Amino acid sequence: MTGKSDYTAKNDLNYLAGAGAPPDLTGGTYLALFTAVGTDANTGFTEVSGGAYARAQISGQATTNGATAAGNATLHFASTPAWIVAGMTIYDKTASSVIPAGTTVLSVTGTTVVMSANATGAGVGGTDVILFSAYSTATGSAPSQIASGSAISFPQSTASWGTVIAWGVYDAATSGNLLYWDYLGNYSWLPAEISSASPGVITAKAHGYAAADSVMFSTEYGGTAPSFSQSNLTGILAVVSPATDTFTVTNASTAVNTSSTGSGMVRKLIQQPIPINTVYTFASGNLIMTAA
């Protein structure tokens, strides 16, 4: 189900229990686009390929090659990595206190990064390791969230990339370990009950769905799928006849008829076609990760 992958969840628990170190992400993290989804074990996903597609780097580190004195906001590098863009959060891994919390990238040149705040204390050293992230710092009590603080863009497509329905974060530019994934659209999973009827009526309090919205159904966190006299609740479903708390669905244009009751969770998602000659971009704040 959406959220942390098996790899991340196991590593988090090992780290908290003192049974292992956290994953090494010094090589950066990378955003991927999916046209079909799989399991939390990183099986069954269909990632976009061809047409100049490449994962977008959303975090990483770079080492300064010159000092930044207190009261100055310009970081110096032998060569500024191309993935560093305005809006990214900045953190000094070598001396954490010298760059104020919440500092972001204002502008970038081939060898410099101008920060939104001046260096403090002893200033940034000439060989400090600086971390950059497209995400702002996490907020809220559990479930906590972290949202993208900068725009995240992919290369311009030179062919159709198909219809994207989900995204994932990996620890490598290709292959690697899946760390987190979610469907497009920042929508929550809602508890749902399903009647035995033709078509089966789904009840999800104050769901807010409109006719033709795309939704998914899951029993991963509890519930039992109904029996079906026609079609099923597998894959992407289309909302039909929405009322305040209820709706029915079709699967590939066929009504889903049920012969027993059921329960589970439903969630809205966005289906996004990406045609040729398109630069697909997640605007600042539009990519959110949640930890329960």
pLDDT in tens, 207-248: 999 999 999 999 998 999 999 999 999 999 999 999 999 999
Contacts of 140 (CB under 8 A, 6+ apart): none
Residues of the chain with pLDDT under 70: 292
pTM: 0.94
Report pLDDT for 137: 87
Contacts by residues 83-86 (CB-CB < 8 Å, ≥ 24 positions apart)? 83/28, 83/56, 83/57, 83/58, 84/108, 84/113, 84/132, 85/134, 85/150, 85/151, 86/150
What are the tokens at 252?
Answer: 């590939």
Report pLDDT for 161: 98
Helix then strand count (H, E) for the chain reads: 1, 26
Q: Environment class of residue 175 by beta-carbon count within 10 Å: exposed (0-12), middle (13-18) or buried (19+)?
A: exposed
CA pair distance 94, 88, nearest whole angstrom: 18
Report pLDDT for 73: 98
Q: Are 169 and 34 in contact (CB under 8 A)?
A: no
Report pLDDT for 89: 97
- The number of C-alpha atoms within 13 Å of 125 and in the hemisphere containing its C-beta is 10
Q: What are the domain boundaries of the chain?
A: 3-184+276-291, 190-269
Q: Which CATH number fits domain 190-269: 2.40.30, 3.40.50, 2.40.50, 3.30.70?
A: 2.40.30
Q: Which residue has the tokens 């899946």?
A: 178
